[in-house]
Amino acid sequence: MALSLEGVEVLLHGKALLRTFSLTVEAGDIVTLMGPSGSGKSSLLAYVAGDLEPPLLGHGIIRLGGSILNEVAAGRRRIGRLFQDDLLFPHLTAGENLLFGIPRGPRQERLAKMRDGLAQAGLAGFEDRAPHTLSGGERARISLFRSLLAHPNAMLLDEPFSKLDSELRQTMREYVFAHLRQRLIPSLLVTHDVADAPPGGQILAITRDGEVRHA
Amino acid sequence: MAPALRALTPLAGAAPVTVLWALPLVTGLVAALAVVADGPAWTALLAHPQVWPALALSLWTGTIAMLVSLVSALLVLMALHGRGRVTGYAGWAMAIPHLAFAIGFGFLIMPSGLIARLFYNTPPDWVTVSDPCGLALIACLVLKETPFLIWIGSALLMRGDTADVFAGQWRSALSLGHGSGSIWLRVLLPQLLPRLAWPIIAVWVYGATVVDMALVLGPTEPPTLAVLVWSDLNDAQLLANSRGAAGALFLTLALSIVGTAAYLLLRFGRRMIRRILTRGPSDRNAPRLPGLVLLVLFAAIYAVVILLLGLLSVAGHWPFPRIIPEVFSVKAMARAVEDFRPFATSLGLGASTAITALALAVLWLEGVAARFDRMVIGACVAALGLPAILIAAGQYRIFLEAGLSGTLVGLFLVHLTACFAYVFIVLQAPYRAFDPRLRSAALGLNSNPWRFWLKVKASLLRAPLAQAGAIGFAVSMAQFVAAQLIAAGRHSTLPIEAVTLSSGGNRSLTAAYALALALPPALVFAAASLAGRPRWR
């Protein structure tokens, strides 16, 4: 399944922040969009996810597989997101955070998926741990698997490595990219650090006047 | 910081709070608890035929009012989520004293009231006020307590340190397939409700123990237990008086037992609650319409109640079913002005206690280390969370012994009890959050601590200082139970007069007093809003 943006632009107070461009991210590909702070990278992701709020405004077609998502509510788009912060819910345990995103079904099956997810994250037995007792790396892995277990059809990565220390950062990059590729999820990564881009992946850059070009 | 540069010693900060506020509160509580050993008082209380039905009525009105207020507040918060602050509007509704509102609300719903005038030619055979189920009292409590919960809830959701976190969690939950209804249920409410626990408890205790509103709108045969207790406490007979003190403690114990049972029920239901929280994504959206309808309804009722009080206070002849008076008259206003003592006493007590409470709070916050704030906050929570009638019953006994009953000093001290508690709770967090580096910078520029406080700190903290003062003034003006007991008939305040008049037939005079009770806090709130605006913007 591919994620396509056709003639997409982002406006701030009616003025173009990100000029019209088109892009297709194939299944399992990770496209990097680079640009300085305030260039509209995160706003583009919000537009694709369906929660862009005024005074920002987006135009253009968002297509996922064969479906156009523009009229689909944010909660129904099945587009996962990773943010700068792990945004684990503090009132839920690590296991419950994973259950939060696992689609409804028989409880035992969901519990099995949750435990399997924890094991894949290298956190087997962490089910009842409160988020504040986890390290930064553990939290980041829980956050990733929370998104993956929700079975997203595409992923938007909003500078997810920027708050990690340099050692953990490299490990998490490889870890996240490997899991996204393995699941054939088309992903769009925004960052202002070229080191965050996956090796060999397509890189786009936002110019000062809001144009999106191949880097 | 070198001790020599300190403006205040810890003793100078703590002593005034201890003597003027904590001492009357703690000794009052001790006296209230001491009644536990008074055997004859308990025998008389438990033999009273109305005690159990009155207790049931108190628990019913308090619990239903709390639950409906909470649901209403949450619906309004859901409806307005992401659409700006509502704290300002809720604050205005809170500025109207409960008693004044209850009097106006009574005029609205009584058989000869405004609503009946819209639909009938003769007053209908309704029991809308003082109904045996306490529905009028519940409705009025809901109207008054919902804005308070909206105010607190909105402030928690919009607070600088949590607003961004909640917004991030919202986006994250959306990306996991949850709709806004599911996000409210599974993400926001589980984090919001524990932080609202104390305000919810305060609303519940207030509803179950309120006296002045219950005297105006509540049932009479039997009345609520708080009214029964209040009536006993006003009895000159020693045994009846002791029975009243025992009744206040009995009501408190009953609330503690029910509260503990509710807490345990929630603990036992925790597993089920967690299952609901982790049931997985649901794209159901939060309802907006009920909250918006409630908001409009509340605003309309508040506007009509104020308007009605205004009209009634200048009504001469107002026969049924006319919507406006046939003849206007300033007679009631003139009579209210003629005996200005209750007004002057209330204004004087309101202003003096608010100023004193502010001064005490600032002295503590300047002189005492922040780690000791917990002690004061705990005592404030006790002062506001425990039934006012329990504290008043204890203070009444102590003040009688100390010769303070019937004196202005006694009245001042009992008004200060609730006033300081509110002022300190409102002021503490913003005051402690003040950047201490500014003090170091100012002192480094050859400023002295007093000059720094006046020129920099008080100026930057103008908004919370003004807000705390206004709330203190409004709370003080509204005191009824303790004021009435300690005044001992030698002094009168606006709430005392308004309650007395509400049981009589002179509606215009009652409305005039209710307005006199409502207007000063509203004006002080308006002044505080203006004074709190930063000058540099």
Task: List, for residues A122-170, the tens digit of each pLDDT value.
Answer: 899 999 999 999 998 899 999 999 999 999 999 999 999 888 888 788 8
Q: Which of A73, A91, A107 sits opposite B179 (nearest CB)?
A: A73
Q: Between B82, B176, B191, which is nearest A91 by CB?
A: B191
Smallest Cβ–Cβ distance between A146 and the set B176, B274, B282 belongs to B176
CA B340 to chain centre: 26
- Using alpha carbons, list the distances in angstroms from residue B163 to A21, B156, B166, B329, B505: 33, 8, 5, 52, 51
Cβ distance of B182 and A75 shorter than 8 Å: yes
CB atoms within 10 A of CB B395: 28
**pLDDT at site B84:** 62
Q: Report CA dihedral (B280, B284, B290, B296) to the nearest 10 degrees.
A: 100
User: What is the least distance, in Å, from the CA of B422 to any CA of chain A?
Assistant: 30
Contact A101 B174 (CB under 8 A): no
Give the type of residue at B453: W
- A91:B190 CB<8 A: yes
Mutation for B interface: A53, A79, A89, A146, most B CBs within 10 A = A89
Please check whether residue B386 is in contact with residue B417, taking contact to mean a CB–CB distance below 8 angstroms.
no
Give the whole-angstrom CA distance, residue B1 versus residue B466. 29
The order of strands in the sheet holding A187-191 is: A79-82, A154-158, A187-191, A30-34, A203-206, A212-214
The pLDDT value given to residue B534: 60
Task: Specify whether the CB–CB gap between B138 and B206 falls below 8 A.
Answer: no
Residue pairs spanning A and B at CB distance below 8 A:
83
What 3-state DSSP class applies to B187?
A: helix
Provide the token pair at A50: 């369906």
d(CA B391, CA B491): 20
Q: Which residue of A has its CA nearest to B273?
A: A92
Contact: A75, B174; criterion CB under 8 Å:
yes
Instruction: Find chain B residues with C-beta within 8 A of A75's C-beta.
Output: 174, 177-180, 182, 281, 283
pLDDT reported for residue B503:
83
Contacts of B270 in chain A (CB under 8 A): none
Kindly list the strands in the beta sheet with A56-64, ordered across the sheet, starting from the edge strand earlier in the chain.
A15-25, A3-12, A56-64, A67-68
**CB contact at 8 A, B137 and B99:** no
Q: Which residues contact B263 (CB under 8 A, 6 or more apart)?
A: none
Q: Among partner residues B82, B172, B275, which is closest to A83 by beta-carbon distance?
A: B172
DSSP state of B528: H
Position B214 scores a pLDDT of 95
C-alpha distance from residue B131 to each of A123, B102, B209, B210 (Å): 61, 14, 17, 16
Q: Which segments of chain A have a pLDDT < 70? A: none
Q: If you measure CA to CA, which chain A residue comes closest to B192? A: A91
Which residues does chain A have within 8 Å of residue B180's beta carbon, measured at their own beta carbons? 75
Partner-chain residue, chosen from A49, A51, A92, that has the shortest CB–CB distance to B278: A92
Please give the angle made by the CA atoms of B308, B310 and B315, to the nearest 5 degrees: 90
Which has the closest alpha carbon to B215: B456, B389, B46, B415? B389
Count the helices and strands in chain A (H runs, E runs): 5, 10
Residues 6+ apart with CB under 8 A from B346: B477, B493, B494, B495, B517, B520
Q: Does the beta-carbon distance from B281 to A104 stay under 8 Å? A: yes
Contact A81 B175 (CB under 8 A): yes
| Contact check, Cβ <8 Å, B176/A51 | no
Q: Do B176 and A101 touch (CB under 8 A)?
A: yes
CA distance B203 to chain A (A): 25
Q: What is the ipTM of this complex?
A: 0.86
pLDDT at B20: 94
Q: Which residues of B touch A (CB under 8 A)?
A: 82, 168-169, 171-180, 182, 186-187, 190-191, 274-275, 277-283, 285
Residue B127: φ, ψ to 5°: -115, 80
Measure the CA dihedral B292/B294/B300/B305, to 10°. -160
Tell me whether residues B283 and A73 touch, CB distance under 8 A. yes
Smallest Cβ–Cβ distance between B280 and the set A73, A103, A156 belongs to A103
Under an 8 A CB cutoff, do A91 and B277 touch?
A: yes
| Inter-chain touch A104–B274, beta carbons under 8 Å | no
CA distance A63 to chain B (A): 16
Q: Which residues of B touch A101 (CB under 8 A)?
A: 176-177, 280-281
Q: What is the pLDDT along chain B (537 residues), one digit of tens a residue?
A: 333 335 578 888 899 999 999 999 999 999 988 888 888 999 999 999 999 999 999 999 999 999 999 999 999 999 988 776 666 678 778 888 899 999 999 999 999 888 999 898 888 888 888 899 999 999 999 999 999 999 888 888 887 678 888 999 999 999 999 999 999 999 999 999 998 998 999 999 999 999 999 999 999 989 999 999 999 988 888 888 889 999 999 999 999 999 999 999 999 998 899 999 998 899 888 899 999 999 999 999 999 999 999 999 888 888 888 888 888 888 888 888 888 889 999 999 999 999 999 999 999 998 898 899 999 999 999 998 899 999 998 999 899 899 998 899 999 999 999 999 999 998 998 888 877 777 777 777 766 777 888 888 888 888 889 989 999 999 999 999 999 999 888 899 999 999 999 888 788 899 999 998 899 998 998 888 888 776 554
Peptide bond into A55 cis (omega under 30): yes
Closest-CA residue to B329 (of B511, B113, B100, B508): B508
**Partner residues linked to B210 by β-bridges:** none
Which among B82, B177, B275 has CB closest to A78? B177
Nearest CA in chain A to B283: A75
Q: Which tokens in the block code for residue B175?
A: 């990306």
CB B99 within 8 A of CB B517: yes
Residues in contact with A174: Cβ distance below 8 Å, sequence separation at least 6, in sequence order: none
The answer to whether the beta carbons of residues A79 and A155 sit under 8 Å apart is yes
Cβ burial A16-55 (10 Å sphere, 16+ → b, else e): ebbbebebebebebbbbbbbeeebbbbbbbbbbbbbbeee
Determine the pLDDT at residue B5: 39
What secondary structure does DSSP assign to B96-114, as a single string? S-HHHHHHHHHHHHSTTSH
What pTM was computed for the model? 0.87
Do residue A51 and residue B282 have CB atoms under 8 angstroms apart? no
Q: What is the pLDDT of residue B1?
A: 39
- What 3-state DSSP class applies to A167? helix
Residue A80's H or E segment, with its range, is strand A79-82
Q: Which of B218, B6, B204 is nearest to B132 (CA)?
A: B218
B415: Cβ–Cβ under 8 A, 6 or more apart, which residues? B349, B350, B353, B476, B479, B482, B483
Which parts of chain A fold into alpha helices (H)?
41-49, 94-101, 107-120, 136-149, 166-182
Residues in A whose CB is inside 8 Å of some CB of B read 46, 49-51, 53, 73-76, 78-81, 83, 85, 87, 89-92, 96, 99-105, 107, 110, 146-147, 150, 152, 156
List all residues 6 or more positions away from B354 whose beta carbon is below 8 Å from its beta carbon: B419, B423, B469, B470, B472, B473, B476
CB contact under 8 A, B177 and A76: yes
For A92, the closest of B172, B175, B277 (CB atoms) is: B277
